[in-house]
Amino acid sequence: MFHTVESMTQTPVSQTRTPQPGDVHDYVALRQSGTHPERARIELNLRPGQARRLERVMRARALRGEGDRQLPKFAHHDRHVRAVMDQGGFWSFSERRIGRDGVAVCLPLLPPHAGRRR
């Protein structure tokens, strides 16, 4: 009994899968990190029409005030900051000296004004 054994070689997965175009979140993340629109289109394997549509979506979101969903909106809200400051300020991380010139930020959190030297 003889069996014919064929040589099998493995093809890397990256060569067998066609890259899928990115979605609006990928596009917006690239654009907000400073990537030029054409570069984002190429990196995400988008057709020119798709890239134009995603650019319009990104700009429309910015006009509605949605902007970067990764950033906390309250950090840019003047009334909120003013209200917190009127109540004593923000909590802060404690600091620990490292060597002569270094400072490490660490826990515990300190209530407003507790960490300030007078």
Each residue of 22-47: pLDDT tens digit?
678 888 888 888 888 899 899 999 99
What confidence score (pLDDT) does residue 99 get? 87
Please report, for the chain, the start and end positions of each structural domain, with discontinuous segments joined by +.
19-71, 78-110
Residues 112/90, Cβ–Cβ less than 8 Å:
yes
71-86: per-residue pLDDT in tens?
A: 555 555 677 778 888 8
Interior angle at CA 43, CA 66 and CA 13, nearest 5: 120
Give the integer Cα–Cα distance in Å for 26 and 37.
12
Interior angle at CA 82, CA 81 and CA 84, nearest 5: 65
57-70: per-residue pLDDT in tens?
A: 888 887 777 766 55
Averaged pLDDT score across all residues of the chain: 76
The larger pLDDT score, comparing residue 98 to residue 74, is at 98
